[in-house]
């Protein structure tokens, strides 16, 4: 610390500079450098009548399973559904942004009747999120999420299309569509199973059973997964429906789970 010479010639230590309110605001306004409280995989699949998403309800604080009722499947409007993995607080920010846009659409609509309102379709929400994610990434302050968007496209005359929509946007703005999607660890384990079993004419029960099987396998294999899950769907007639959380039945007596793999004469692997 520097020395100063006070009146009378006495040497003393200079006082440190006083911090101002602006300095405090600047110090607190910093970019998130890594996700802290995170959710894992989100699965999505098209079926004959619409689109279905699935996710568990666990948020992990590092390796600690901290929040077991964090719902990550959210309805944006009457015909669009999103689900996200990654930082949960950023998902809340994305949800608030999309709901504010939906409210603005309703407030500025030409008609007060719900059937006449021209809401954003799933394709428009997906394109908007792609721009938001890329803009935040370009400012070196990304939203740490992979967001799956499900719903239906809109025809040029405003009618809802018959073809379902399923797309994903990651934290740097990369976006694509597919018939089956998975984020997080599900992209390595669940996605190959979903591609193998997928059919365009799948019934709702078949799609739900497939998603539940994939979530169950992720619970066995992913240390950040839970068997408490949610299922959500979007149909043209019924709109958005998100289930309450429920627990999957599990089975732990598989031979590979029971045998001791660390003994002599074994490879120690699965």
Q: Mean per-residue pLDDT for 119-124?
A: 88
Mean pLDDT of the chain: 85
Q: Mean per-residue pLDDT for 250-258?
A: 79
Is the pLDDT reported for residue 242 higher than 60?
A: yes
* pLDDT tens profile 90-111: 999 999 999 898 888 778 777 6
Q: Mean per-residue pLDDT for 10-32?
A: 54
Q: Mean per-residue pLDDT for 54-81?
A: 94
SS in 3 state form for the chain?
CCEEECCCCCEEECCCCCCCHHHHHHHHCCCCCCCCEEECCEEEEEECCEEEEEEECCEEECCEEEECCCCCEEEEECCEEEEEEEEHHHHHHHHHHHHHHHHHHHHCCCCCCHHHCCCCCHHHHHHHHHHHHHHHHHCCCCCCEEEEEEEEEECCCCCEEEEEEEEEECCCCCEEECCEEECCCHHHHHHHHHHHHCCCCCCHHHHHHHHHHHHHHHHHHCCCCCCEEEEEEEECCCEEEECCCEECCCCCCCHHHHCCCCCCCCCCCC
Q: Mean per-residue pLDDT for 229-235?
A: 96
From 20, 26, 32, 266, active-site residue = 32
Which of 28-32, 103-107, 154-158 shows the highest mean pLDDT? 103-107
Q: Mean per-residue pLDDT for 166-181?
A: 96
Is the pLDDT reported for residue 4 higher than 80?
A: no
Identify which has the larger pLDDT, 99 or 257. 99
Question: What was the pLDDT predicted at 258?
Answer: 73
Task: Identify whether 32 is a catalytic site residue.
Answer: yes
Predicted TM-score of the model (pTM): 0.82
C-beta atoms surrounding 219 within 10 Å: 18
């Amino acid at each position: 610390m520097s020395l100063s010479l006070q009146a009378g010639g006495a040497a003393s230590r200079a006082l440190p500079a006083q911090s101002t309110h602006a300095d405090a605001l600047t110090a607190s306004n910093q970019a998130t450098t890594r996700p802290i409280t995170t959710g894992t995989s989100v699965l999505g699949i098209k079926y004959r009548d619409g689109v279905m998403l699935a996710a568990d309800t666990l948020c992990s604080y590092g390796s600690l399973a901290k929040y077991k009722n964090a719902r990550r499947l959210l309805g944006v409007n009457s015909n669009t559904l999103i689900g996200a993995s990654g930082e949960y607080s950023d998902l809340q920010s994305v949800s608030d942004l999309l709901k504010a846009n939906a409210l603005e659409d309703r407030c500025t609509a030409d008609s007060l009747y719900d059937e006449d309102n021209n809401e954003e379709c799933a394709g428009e929400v997906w394109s908007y999120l792609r721009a938001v994610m890329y803009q935040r990434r370009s400012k070196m302050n990304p939203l740490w999420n992979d967001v799956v968007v499900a719903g239906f496209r809109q025809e040029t005359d405003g009618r809802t299309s018959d073809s379902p929509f399923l797309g994903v946007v990651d934290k740097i703005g990369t976006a694509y569509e597919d018939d089956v999607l998975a984020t997080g660890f599900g992209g390595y384990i669940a996605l190959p199973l979903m591609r193998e079993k997928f059919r365009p004419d799948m019934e709702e029960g078949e799609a739900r059973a497939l998603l539940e099987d994939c979530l169950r396998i992720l619970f066995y294999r992913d240390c950040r997964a839970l068997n408490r899950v949610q299922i959500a769907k979007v149909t043209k007639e019924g709109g958005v429906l998100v289930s309450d959380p429920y627990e999957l039945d599990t089975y732990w007596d598989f031979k590979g789970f029971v045998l001791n793999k660390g003994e002599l004469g074994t490879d120690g692997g699965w």
